[in-house]
Amino acid sequence: MTLDQNQIAAFRSTLLDLQQDINERQEKNNNFDLNEGHYHESMGELSSYDNHPGDEGTELYEREKDIALHQHLDYELENIQAALTAMEKGTYGKCLTCQQDIPLERLEAIPTTLYCKDHSLDQTVSHNRPIEEGVVMPPFGKFDMDEQDESVGYDAEDAWQEVASWGTSESPSDFEVPPLSYNDTNIEYEENVGYVEDFENFVGNDIEGKNIMVYPNEQHEQYEDSLDEEGIMTEFGDLPAVEHDPYVEE
């Protein structure tokens, strides 16, 4: 259905009101403060020296959000101007692609549209994830050994656990009620690094699997303490009893 002059005048009034509203909002919020430099100028800071990195990260997120909102309003203004231009040319209400009349209900819902539903430019739904997720996501699964369930080598998970042991954003200092130990905030802090079973840390052999030696250390003492008088394991997992002198080379 071709629009009559009264309908076009009503849509023009609607578009002008939208344009004025956006311009007033931009003026009141000073273009989302984007006229001021980030980070120090916009926050009144002289330096980042005494600021927590988390605080600066928050302000960076707010700046990114302001930029996105500003671009969204600019996009709305461009669409409004394009619709007003189409009215001057006498093409408003017809799809730019198929030249068919745009349904009145669609124009009432989206007065800035210049396309019918079938030829709308915003039909593609992106399923791409933000590129930042490739950085902030756990690194597990990115390296060869990560996919090997039985691998005892030093993999990405071991690297993360070692770095996390020095503190993360969940360090005790970041909790209102600090935990009793830093270990309580680390994932699987008790996991062995570089070996699986505790006895592997004090038992060794040569390249041919012979000349088994036992080297005294804390884990070995715990192992010895876990044996009863008959040399039977009592508390140290499923390890077999040592029936030979552990300090004598075989």
Do 88 and 75 share a domain, yes or no?
yes
Task: Quick: pLDDT tens for 128-160.
Answer: 877 777 666 655 556 666 566 666 667 777 777
pLDDT band at 54; cut points 50, 70, 90: confident
Do 9 and 87 share a domain, yes or no?
yes
Token pair recorded at residue 206: 């040569």
Note down the domain range covering 203: 197-250
Q: Are 243 and 203 in contact (CB under 8 A)?
A: no
Task: Quick: pLDDT tens for 17-39.
Answer: 999 999 998 888 888 888 877 77
* Cα 138 to Cα 79: distance, rounded to the nearest angstrom: 41
Task: Quick: pLDDT tens for 167-209.
Answer: 677 666 666 676 666 666 666 666 666 556 665 667 777 888 7
User: Going along the chain, which residue ranges are E strands?
Assistant: 203-204, 213-214
Number of domains in the chain: 3
- 78 — phi, psi (to 5°)? -65, -40
CATH number of the domain at 111, please. 1.20.120.910
How far apart, in Å, are the Cα atoms of 85 and each of 18, 21, 38, 214?
Answer: 15, 19, 36, 87
Question: How much is the pTM?
Answer: 0.49
